Structure formats: C-alpha cells, structure tokens
Structure 1
Amino acid sequence: MSNEITKIMVQAQKIKNFRCRKGSAPQVQIKDLEEKLKITLPEPYKFFLEQYGFCLWFGDVVFGLVPLDEDNEDYKSLDVIRATEYYHQRYDNKDEYQSVPEHGLVINSYDGGGYYFLFSEESERAGEVGLFLTETYGQEESKFKSFTDYLSFLVTGTPDLVDVDYDKIMDIIEG
C-alpha cells in the first residue's frame, strides 16, 4: 500500500507546478483530524498525510493537512477539515440536495460541481472514494475502490472510474 502511493507520488512530482507540504504532517495533527471529524482514516490516506500532507499541481489537488502556522490562503483552502465542514454546511439538511455522507471526508472538489468523498473506517464502504455531483442533487455518480486507485487516476489516468453511467448523468443535466 505505502509502496504504491510512493510510486504514484514520484510520478506526481514530475507534473508541472507540483507542490506538497514541506515535511510530513505530524501524528498529533492527524490524530486531531480524526478526533474532530469523529472518524478513523483509511491507512492509505493516513500514509499520504504522513508523507505529503496535501498535494496540488496544475489542474488538480488532494486536500490534506496544511501546516498550522501557514498564512498562505492558497494552502488554507487545501485543508481537508475546512473542506469537509464547508460541504456539510452547504449540502446537509437541504431539501434539494442529498446530504454529505456521515463517515469520511471531502478530499477534493469536482470542477463541474460536486466533491470526492473518502469513506472512513466506520463506513460499510471503508476506503472507497465516491464522486458526488451537484448536477444530480448530491447523488453519487461514480466511485473508486480505494484512495490509492483515486490518486493513481489523478496522476496517471488509470484505473478508470468504476460504475459510471454517463447517460444517466447527461439525462439529469439536460432534464
């Protein structure tokens, strides 16, 4: 698992404008994240935080833990706690949208409107990453089997999304 993420991140570091946290996220900050959101992180994502904190490059990002003393607003917007709280505030208890799942965290926003959600160990779907779209009123429209698959998809384009019904998405958008 950690070896796969390391290999993917070696490739990511070759992408134009790649950046990640200088130094790893301290264990205390990871523990605080779990306590604040009342979740247990899947091991691959925990390893990612321990080694890279967060990452971004031209065209994509993986939310994570930013340094506590970081004043740069660009980095603050990459904080996974902030992102998760934002999506809960925006979509929970709204008649027109499905609420954000309870067990897990938002690890990326979707440019077309929506977010990628990593299910925590408390979920029946522990470790999976789902794509929830605003065009479908917060319904999940595709998923990855693991955080590692999701990260690989961002960096290399493989594996492909699992269970995507593009016709259904287009019907909803056009409908």
Structure 2
Amino acid sequence: MFNEIEAIIGKAKKNKNYTQRGAVPSEEIADLESQLKIVLPKDYKYFIKHYGYCFWFGGVVSGLVGDNKRYEKLCCAIRKTKYYHDFYDHDSSYLSVPQQGLVIGKWAGGGYYFLFSQESERAGEVGLFLTETYGQEVSKFNSFTDYLSFLVTGTPDPEPVDVDYDRIMDIIED
C-alpha cells in the first residue's frame, strides 16, 4: 500500500506547479486526530506523515500545512472540514457533513471529498458529496490510495452511489 502511494506521488511530482509540505511530526498528526476526534486510515496517515499535503495545477490533496499559512486555505484538512460543517450544517435543505472523518478535497463544481475515519462503518472510503445534490454523496472510492490515484492518473473510476432524487425534487418544489 505504501509503495503504491510513493509511486503515485512520483507521478504527481511531474505535474505543473507540484508542491508539498514534506515530513510531518507525529505530534501534529495526533493533534489532528484529537481535534476532530477521529482515527485516520493508515494510507492517509502515511501520506500526511511523509508529504503533509500536496497540490499541482488541477489537483489538491489536503492535509497538514504546518507553519506555511500561504497554503492554509487551499490545503488544510482541518480548516476545510470545519468550513464544510459550517456551510452545510446551517441549512436544513442540505445533508450534514459526516462526523467520522475529514474533508480532503474540494469539488470544483461545488462540493467536497470526504475521507471516512477508522471508527466509521465506511472506514477508509472517500466519498464525493455535491452541493447540487444538496449534500448527498454521488460517488466513492474504496480507499484514500484509490482517490489519490484517480487525481493523479485518472484511474480507478469512482463507484456511483445511489442519489435520492425524490428528496432533491421535494427541496426544489418547496
């Protein structure tokens, strides 16, 4: 699993404007888990321990930014998670952001990628939740590693998730 992350990051580094933080102290990772009251999946924990976060032209994987405040808004998983909780949880039309995990990416069309933590029934999965579906999940990856691979290489494809279109129509009609 960890060799696969190394290989994917090796490909990501070839992208235009690739940037990463680098090694993160274990205390910062423990602090993230403590603040959000979660346990991170092993592949994501490996990623943030070795890379912190990364982005390139067209892709972002949020994590821990440390003292680099320049990238905090774009790349800080704690900040993104709190932002989406505030955004979705104050409008009863939208489904609340799940509690057991964290936001690791933004969907350019409106929405977010959510990594489910170890204590979740969906431990390790990454779901895409869209604004246009009022916070409903529309697709998922089986692991953080699959999500990272998709961002960098375009494979594997995400799995579709059933969307409750009747609920959406009820919201629109109200």
**TM-score in terms of structure 2 length:** 0.91
Match in the other structure for 2:97 = 100
User: What is the SS of the residue equivalent to 1:141?
Assistant: strand
Matches within 5 A, 1:50-69: 50-67=49-66, 69=67
Match in the other structure for 2:38 = 39
Match in the other structure for 2:145 = 148
User: What is the SS of the residue equivalent to 2:160?
Assistant: coil
Match in the other structure for 1:110 = 107
**TM-score in terms of structure 1 length:** 0.90
Deviation at 1:165, TM superposition (A): 6.8
Identity across aligned pairs (percent)?
Answer: 61
CA offsets 1:1-35 (integer angstroms, 9 cap, x no match): 111100100000011111100x3111000000000
Match in the other structure for 2:23 = 24
After TM superposition, the structure 1 stretch with the greater mean CA deviation from structure 2, 37-46 or 93-102, is 93-102
Structure 1: runs of 5 or more not aligned: none
Amino acid at match of 1:5: I
Match in the other structure for 2:72 = 76
Deviation at 1:57, TM superposition (A): 0.3
Amino acid at match of 2:27: V
Match in the other structure for 1:128 = 125
Say if 1:40 and 1:92 are closer, same or farther in 2 by CA, change over 3 A: same
Q: Contact conserved, 2:130 with 2:136, CA < 8 A, in 1?
A: yes
How many pairs does the alignment contain? Answer: 167
Match in the other structure for 1:9 = 9
Deviation at 1:93, TM superposition (A): 4.3
User: What is the SS of the residue equivalent to 1:118?
Assistant: strand
2:97, 2:157 → 1: CA distance?
Answer: 23
Amino acid at match of 1:82: R
Amino acid at match of 1:19: T
CA offsets 1:36-92 (integer angstroms, 9 cap, x no match): 00000000000000110000000110000002x2242xx111111000000001111
